[in-house]
A and B are shown apart, each in its own frame.
Chain A
Amino acid sequence: MISSQAPILIPMTFLFAAMLIPLVGAVNRAAAHLTAVLGSALALYFSVIGMQTTLAQGRISYHIAGWMPPIGIEFVMDPLSAFICALLCGVTFIVMVFGKRSVEYEIPQKEIAFYSLSMLLLGGLAGMVMTGDLFNLYVYLEIAALAGYALVAIGDKRAVVSAFRYLVMGTVGATFYLLGVALIFISTGTLNMADIAQLMPMVQDSPAVIVGLVLIVLGTALKMALFPMHAWLPDAYTHASTTATALIAPIGTKVSAYVLFRVLFFVVDPDHLRTELLNLLQIIGYLGAAGIIWGSIMAICQSELKRMLAYSSVAQVGYIAVGISLASPLGFIGAILHALNHAVMKCCLFFISGNMRLRLGHSMIPQMTNGLRKSMPWTSAAFTLAAISMIGLPPTAGFFGKWYLALGAIEQSHWIFLSALLISTILNVAYFFRVMERMYLKPQEPEGVDYSEQTIVRNEAPASMLVPTLFLALSLLVLGFANAWIVTNLIVPMIPGWL
């Protein structure tokens, strides 16, 4: 019963929670947080059930109001969308548990708006993942985007300006996407993705379809902050509140990357992708490789932890773009695995910056001292683990995504991509070890304060924030050890047959 309706239940749970929270919050402010946690737990439950059914029985297709596709709107849960959906529901649940203290501290008096908007954002993202209809995808994309602008705007003093910039870039992206859909609709006369995939071989040589695809890719690339269209990302991530960043950064760009996967691998005709459109794929790959290097270099230059992590996100999106551009099973596995790992690592790192803001009042790297390892031992340990995973040392999860990408690059002799991967690893070492050095090694004595003499008070973050952080940090090890299982059981079934 639930399993056949899982595709529609997940976005609807989030949207329903988004409407319920202001009502509940009007009665009791504390209940708003509880509703958000329960809503995301319910959605996680549905997505796990949906994923089990999808893996056992194949794709679930839900027809809204009983109208059959291609006339009606179809919601689809195939292995790829089920996996991404379970990922985003899981991350949301942990962020919501983490959020209580952090939201109270950073954005007081705005909790109800915050929880309601974050549920709306997730409703939009889950809808984007589930829908099997190009126009419906646009509507969900705008729901998620509008909620995202508002979430970014609820932040520090400068957040409004970065939210405005995000809005301008996001609207350009969405408009490009809509124009591309228009051109494809004019050529094929349908909006259903499966239907377009069938009709594609007949119309793919017309200029309208090619321009349409380019516009869709351009719009999606703007949304996923592919270099050089990433200008909105660092400001938006830095000035938003920690919880909002921890929510938007791991999954917002991943869902846009999912749209790119969906369009390029499931809607476009594979033979076409192998010949002429391959140039488009290569452009995505080179932009991704440039983004990897550029994002890492910019991350080294930052003095604020959150801003450094934001630039590192630009680099990590580049890895996924490289995986898409390889268009081979290994590249596909690498990109999906990296999307999963990066979501967990980045979420954990943003949690840590939130813990530091709560206890230290800032997250400036130059002001960190080696007192941190005594005052916040668990947070520092979690940072170390997540940083090692970002760098990509085995057996942490981050290694395996990069490993598959590197294998894919070697298989196709893409030496530029391989060197970008290797150089970025060294750059990652540079900017993460810089922070770890301040945490653990050098006794710092800035402005004449003698920290070695001072008795350092143990001042760890509260349990509601520390437990999710440690849980994510440990799950990086678990994901690392379980990567073979994940690849065989979850990722291999979602590779389209023609790859």
Chain B
Amino acid sequence: MLEFIQGYYAYIFLATAFTIGLYGMMVKQNLMKKVLGMSIVAATTIMFWIVGAYKEGAGVTVLDPRFGVEDPGMYLNPLPHTLMLTAIVVAVVTLGVALALLIGIYREYKTLDEPTLLERMK
């Protein structure tokens, strides 16, 4: 059990954070808190990719005389990190659109609380 936790603590942390974010999006009644939950979920996914590509003690993908060419395990795959640059941009843009919509909702209904909002929409 302890070994499992030691081996996978990063994933356990990420799974917990993901669940918290999802809980915030689905259950919280304040729209701003939903957006915060969405941001946590997006950040967790990005970190999941990065943790998945991480190797203990490995270096960058350029031929390093210390490591040689025998052991490919000594080199990191840079692809996931690079891809996550795109995903970060997407997450930021989504956050921006969400905040813009929140401003629109607040201007129209003067509230961000979901029950009050539903009441005023009738």
Contact = CB atoms under 8 A, between A and B. Distances in A.
B10 interface: no
Given A160-B101, A164-B101, A146 B94 contact: yes
B108 interface: yes
Given A160-B104, A171-B42, A149 B48 contact: no
Given A139-B86, A185-B80, A168 B97 contact: no
Contacts of A135: 83, 86
A189 B52 CA distance: 11
Given A172-B25, A179-B48, A167 B97 contact: yes
Contacts of B97: 146, 149-150, 167
A182 B94 contact: no
B74 interface: no
A189 B41 CA distance: 24
B117 interface: yes
* Chain A residues touching B, majority SS: helix
Contact of A178 (B38, B87, B105, B109): B87
Nearest to B96: A146
A158 interface: yes
Contacts of A153: 101, 104
Interface in A165-191: 167-168, 171-172, 175, 178-179, 182, 185-186, 189
A436 B16 CA distance: 53
A171 B94 contact: yes
Main secondary structure of the interface of B (DSSP, over half): helix
Interface in A114-161: 135, 138-139, 142, 146, 149-150, 153, 157-158, 160-161
Nearest to B117: A161
Contacts of B49: 178, 182, 185
Interface residues of A, number: 25
A149 B101 contact: yes
A269 B4 CA distance: 31
A171 B41 contact: yes
Interface in B35-73: 38, 41-42, 45, 48-49, 52
Interface residues of B, number: 29
Contacts of A138: 87, 90
B114 to A, nearest CB: 9
Contact of B90 (A139, A167, A168, A185): A139
Interface centre among A135, A161, A189 (most CB of B within 10 A): A161
Contacts of A185: 49, 52, 80
Interface of B: 22, 25, 31, 34, 38, 41-42, 45, 48-49, 52, 77, 80, 83, 86-87, 90, 93-94, 97-98, 101-102, 104-105, 108-109, 117, 121
18 contacts: A139-B86, A146-B93, A146-B94, A158-B121, A160-B101, A161-B105, A161-B117, A161-B121, A164-B31, A167-B98, A168-B98, A171-B94, A171-B98, A172-B25, A175-B42, A178-B49, A178-B87, A179-B45
Given A164-B105, A171-B38, A175-B42, 9 more contacts: A150-B97, A153-B101, A160-B104, A161-B109, A164-B101, A168-B34, A168-B38, A172-B41, A178-B45
